[in-house]
Amino acid sequence: MLPEVQALVRLQDWDHAVTRLEAELAELPKRLDALQKEAAAQAKAVAALETRLKAGETERRTLEGAVELHKSKIVKLKKQLNEAQNLTQTRALEHEIDWAEQAIAKAEERQLELLMEEEQLRPELGAAKEALLAMQKNFESTRQQALARHKAGLVEIAALAEQRKSTLATLTPQITSLYERLRKKHKNGVVAVEAVNAQCQGCFMEIRLQLWQELRAQPVLMTCENCGRVLYLHAATGFDPQVGPAPVN
């Protein structure tokens, strides 16, 4: 393989490596953002459970106070009932006592419902808090790893850029221009491809026999007539019975 073609293959590999690294580094903030949103959603769920629990406790305390007031009122009403002077007063007092007792029964029933709800909410809240803590720890761990990876990735990209720069310096302006032009032309960034069995491995079109024989016979910088990519040949895969074994460079 020509030194120039070898240089193009190395440049291609380095540029692909840089592209992969840049894509990886670009994904890091997205991953962190997703984890942060997940933790934020969990924090909202925890807050909602805490609000429900607090509201239930507040209502239960209010009901406890109301029950005490009703009980106190019943004591007074029963005392007045003993001192009632006529049937009308007696019935009125009995009606008030009955109403207060019903109110106590309803309040105590609601208190029981709230207690049962609290018994369900407390373990649910505990599990939600544990999940939130785990998410927060995972986010922080991932953030630290992402920072380290980003730093290392930038170092790798800088090293590849230096290798690319030094390799480009060994090429003629014409070959450099060809490389950059092909990079822009082909979205996958593949500039140099192997030719196998008279076929370009970039576009998979057949190579004319004359060009194939020329490529086999001597090391020359040749491009595919269809896609324009630089062709290179490996001795192990380039055998053609009409031409004979390819020369080993």
* % of the chain surpassing 70 pLDDT: 94
Q: Calculate the average pLDDT of the chain.
A: 90
Q: Which fold has domain 14-168?
A: Helix Hairpins (1.10.287)
216 band by pLDDT with thresholds 50, 70 and 90 = confident
217 band by pLDDT with thresholds 50, 70 and 90 = confident
* Confidence at residue 117, expressed as pLDDT on a 0 to 100 scale: 95
Residue-wise pLDDT for 165-184, tens only, equals: 999 999 999 999 999 999 99
* Confidence at residue 25, expressed as pLDDT on a 0 to 100 scale: 96
Q: Six-digit token pair at 158? A: 């800088």
* Confidence at residue 246, expressed as pLDDT on a 0 to 100 scale: 35
Q: Per-domain residue ranges for the chain?
A: 14-168, 173-232
Q: Can you tell me the distance from the alpha carbon of 247 to that of 249, in angstroms, rounded to the nearest whole number?
A: 6
User: What's the start-to-end Cα distance of the chain, in Å?
Assistant: 6
Q: Six-digit token pair at 48? A: 């909602």
| For residues 10-19, average pLDDT | 94
Q: Can you tell me the distance from the alpha carbon of 191 to that of 184, in angstroms, rounded to the nearest whole number?
A: 9
- Which string of DSSP letters, residue by residue, matches 114-152? HHHHHHHHHHHHHHHHHHHHHHHHHHHHHHHHHHHHHHH
Q: Can you tell me the distance from the alpha carbon of 222 to that of 142, in angstroms, rounded to the nearest whole number?
A: 48
| For residues 81-100, average pLDDT | 91
The answer to pTM > 0.85 is no
Helix-helix angle 87-168:3-82, to 10 degrees: 170
Q: Can you tell me the distance from the alpha carbon of 190 to that of 193, in angstroms, rounded to the nearest whole number?
A: 7
Residue-wise pLDDT for 97-139, tens only, equals: 999 999 999 999 999 999 999 999 999 999 999 999 999 999 9
Q: Can you tell me the distance from the alpha carbon of 212 to that of 227, in angstroms, rounded to the nearest whole number?
A: 15
- Taking a C-beta distance cutoff of 8 angstroms, is the pair 132, 42 a contact? yes
- Taking a C-beta distance cutoff of 8 angstroms, is the pair 24, 153 a contact? yes
237 band by pLDDT with thresholds 50, 70 and 90 = very low
Per DSSP, helices labelled H in the chain are 3-82, 87-168, 173-185, 209-217
DSSP assigned state of 232: E
- Taking a C-beta distance cutoff of 8 angstroms, is the pair 46, 121 a contact? no
